[in-house]
Amino acid sequence: MADDTTADIVSASPELPQPRAKRGQQARTARPPRVPVHGVLLLDKPVGLSSNDALIRAKRMLNAPKAGHTGTLDPFATGLLPLCFGEATKFSQDLLEADKTYEAVVHLGIRTDTGDTEGQVISERPVEVSLEQIEAAMAQFRGPISQVPPMHSALKRDGKPLYEYARAGITLEREARNVIIHTLELLDYQAPLLRIRVTCSKGTYIRVLGEDIGEVLGCGAHLNALRRTGVGALTLEGAVTLETFDAAGELEARKALLLPVDGLLRSFPAVQLNDELARRFLHGQRLPLGKEGVAVPEQTGRVRVYRGSDEALLGTGLLQEYAILAPERLVSTA
């Protein structure tokens, strides 16, 4: 079972070569050649599908040679799963590091061995809590907190995911991890179901948060439903389902549903370079923009860099003291 909120960039599983047809058998139709695709699909992942399976399906629909996702969602969870294609995969790490926003339904009174609906019930207790008690319990989890990763998670020990040990009936010691709950809101309470909205740092387990709230309330709990609504600055606005993506039909129509590569970089200031400076930037040279008369942001830090003549994204750079621009990640299609 995957981490509720984080995962390394995962590429779609490579497809194995097709075996040659035996004599007397009709040869299979050759797959058309891969087509370079660059951009980001905001996918609204359905329940029951793993993040990697969703990635493989979208990759096939685009016939794309390179794709990856970040921020794995468990199969029982739904919501925003950004899929990166081509040059966009170079910036996927930013989504991995970004804060995430979720809406979750916590079922009070019942604990499961996985902390969610996919597990077996291990205890039941009566639920007799007030809204005031719920608010007081939630207040304890706002800000920096520590969480012990669950055994049913994709964290690895000796090269094997923890959930494989858990399925074998083995429980291992896990160190607590520091995370930050930026916001924790009560959206609705209809006993025994508690609906909350959470914005949190990377590495946060929403299942564990739900369980911990239940323990503070004295009744236990498990996660009944989970929907991710935001990854960094990206939201479900404009997200599409796999059915909608497939129904778009032609390749160009599907590509039109992708955000451009710089859709991942909109939170960074922009710098425009002339053709000569763009050429030097793409060759990895540090540029003294102050001496070149280029308009630069007031603050140092990460910027997105464009060639002014055609508005082509060149990549990202680090704007340093004295308006020195150092290349960071370059786009090969510039």
- How many whole angstroms separate alpha carbon 55 and alpha carbon 41? 10
What ranges make up the beta strands (E) of 21-71? 39-45, 67-69
**Angle in degrees, 0-180, between the axes of helices 206-216 and 131-139, rounded to the nearest 10:** 130
DSSP H/E element including 246: helix 242-247
Take residue 21 and report the two structure tokens written for it.
Answer: 């047809």
The DSSP result for 164-194, as a single string, is HHHHTT-------EEEEEEEEEEEEEETTEE
| 74 is annotated as an active-site residue | yes
Q: How far apart are CA 182 and CA 143, in angstroms?
A: 6
- Residue 115 DSSP one-character state: S
Active-site entry in 74, 94, 116, 262: 74
Q: Of 2, 1, 11, 55, which Cα lies nearest the Cα of 203?
A: 2
Cα distances (angstroms) measured from residue 334 to each of 77, 273, 306: 37, 13, 9
Chain Cα centroid distance, residue 320: 29
d(CA 325, CA 32): 42
* CA pair distance 201, 180, nearest whole angstrom: 5
How many other CB atoms are found less than 10 A from the CB of residue 178? Answer: 10
Active site residues: 74
